[in-house]
Amino acid sequence: MDDMDRRIINELQDGFPVTERPYAEAAKQLQMDEDELIERIGKLCKDGTLNRFGPMFNAENLGGAVTLAAIRAPENRFDEITDMVNAHPEVSQNYAREDDLNMWFVIATETPGRLSKVIAEIEYETGLEVFDMPKIEEFYVGLRFAV
Amino acid sequence: MTPDATDKCLLNAIADGLPLTPRPYETVADGLGIGEDEVLDRLERLRDSGIITRFGVVVRHRELGWRANAMAVWDVPDGLVDTVGEKIRSFPFVTLCYQRPRRLPDWPYNLFCMVHGRDRATVRQQILEINDACDLRALPQDVLFSLRQFKQCGAHYAPARPDKTKHREVA
């Protein structure tokens, strides 16, 4: 990753044009060629620096539901339970954390009703209680990483 | 606004990423059988109405050196949680802050705050700063660092597709 890549990452975390030639427009701001920008983004996606290049959604504004859930996975079943949880396409993030509640994941569904079904399915498959902690109030969302 | 079926197809078409072509929205439009103008109009609307919160680079923060990922949690009296939450949002190292329900007796905490940093010592120091500035030292609290990340992908809303990042473990 060189300085140009860093500028791409820093500049394009906040937005990308919705116009006919968005790469050309963004490239102009970054003072590089359209072709080069496209190529560099492709390379950063391929080498795993970027998760993806595209939109982030707000599931609730889309009429869906999202929650943060946690389970207490016994150490000897941890990998098996990880597989069971991640097999659900509605699970978008999953982290092992240092706590008695040691697996934390985000579930986002197209409809509010589907959310409770996914939780019930995970409870049934794993035999473990899922602690459902949907947000009550959002104070800040600003997931940005300067490189 | 309520997104219609075409909006949902559009969102699914770009959920894994925009095409890396000079006219990416035209590529998407062709795939959906609608016009490029319509795709642009719909995306504008989806963005203005807060359904698309952000458009652009989604980084794998761990690969970029942000390896210490802490979920700091406090049990804040319900009457104070708004005031504290509003204060916490001003710290530059805080990436997310939410009030969530307690799950007693297993989980007594109601204020959740994510701090991403390059190392644990720095993150612990930053959480101390929050404690001092918001007068939280005396409150029950905990810090849960992440050990492994198993999955990071955009949410998908319609028929599930195979997830390339699934089971990807990151130390």
Please report, for chain A, the start and end positions of each structural domain, with discontinuous segments joined by +.
3-46, 65-133
CA distance A146 to chain B (A): 9
- Please provide the average confidence, as pLDDT, over all residues in chain B: 86
Helices (H) and strands (E) in chain A, counts: 5, 6
Edge-to-edge order in the sheet of strand A131-133 = A131-133, A65-71, A103-109, A91-97, B141-152, B68-74, B111-117, B94-99, A137-141
Residue whose C-alpha is closest to residue A71's, from B78, B106, B153, B39: B106
B96/B37 Cα distance (integer angstroms): 35
Nearest residue, CB atoms, B96 vs list A24, A50, A140? A140
According to CATH, the topology of domain B68-145 is: Alpha-Beta Plaits (3.30.70)
Residue B157 carries which side chain, given as an amino acid letter?
A: Y
Flag whether pLDDT at A10 surpasses 50: yes
What is the pLDDT confidence band of residue B158, given thresholds at 50, 70 and 90? very low
Lowest mean pLDDT among A71-80, B14-23, B125-134, B161-170: B161-170
Question: In chain B, what residues touch A113 (CB-CB under 8 Å)?
Answer: none
pLDDT digits (tens, 9 = 90+) for A30-49: 999 999 999 999 999 999 88
| Separation in Å, CA of A125 to nearest CA in chain B | 18
| pLDDT value of position B54 | 84
The nearest CA of chain B is from the CA of A76 a distance in Å of: 16
B92-107 pLDDT, tens digit each? 889 899 999 999 999 9
Predicted confidence (pLDDT) per residue in B21-57, tens digit: 999 999 999 999 999 999 999 999 999 998 898 888 8
Are A147 and B59 inside 8 Å of each other by CB?
yes
User: Whose CA is closest to A68, among A115, A125, A120?
Assistant: A115
Query: Contact B103/A133, CB-based, under 8 Å?
Result: yes
- Please report residues of B whose CB lies closer than 8 A to that of A108: 155
Minimum mean pLDDT range among A1-5, A61-65, A81-85, B59-63: B59-63
Segment B10-26 mean pLDDT: 93
Indicate whether this complex's ipTM tops 0.95.
Answer: no
Confidence of residue B153 (pLDDT cuts 50, 70, 90): low
* pLDDT at residue B154, rounded to an integer: 57
Q: Do A49 and B64 touch (CB under 8 A)?
A: yes
Residue A68 neighbours by CB under 8 Å, 6+ apart = A104, A105, A106, A133, A134, A135, B98, B100, B112
Q: Which residues of A touch B112 (CB under 8 A)?
A: 68, 133
| Res B156: pLDDT | 52
Q: Is B95 on the interface with A (CB under 8 A)?
A: yes
Task: Answer for the pair A27, A33: CB distance below 8 angstroms, yes or no.
Answer: yes
Residue extents of the structural domains in chain B: 5-48, 68-145
pLDDT at B168: 31
A97 touches chain B (CB under 8 A): yes
Assess A145–B contact: CB distance below 8 Å, yes or no: yes
Percent of chain A clearing pLDDT 70 (strictly above): 96
Percent of chain B scored above 70 by pLDDT? 88
* A-B Cβ pairs (cutoff 8 Å, strict): 246
Q: Give the CATH fold of the A65-133 domain.
A: Alpha-Beta Plaits (3.30.70)
Between A73 and B57, name the one with better pLDDT. A73
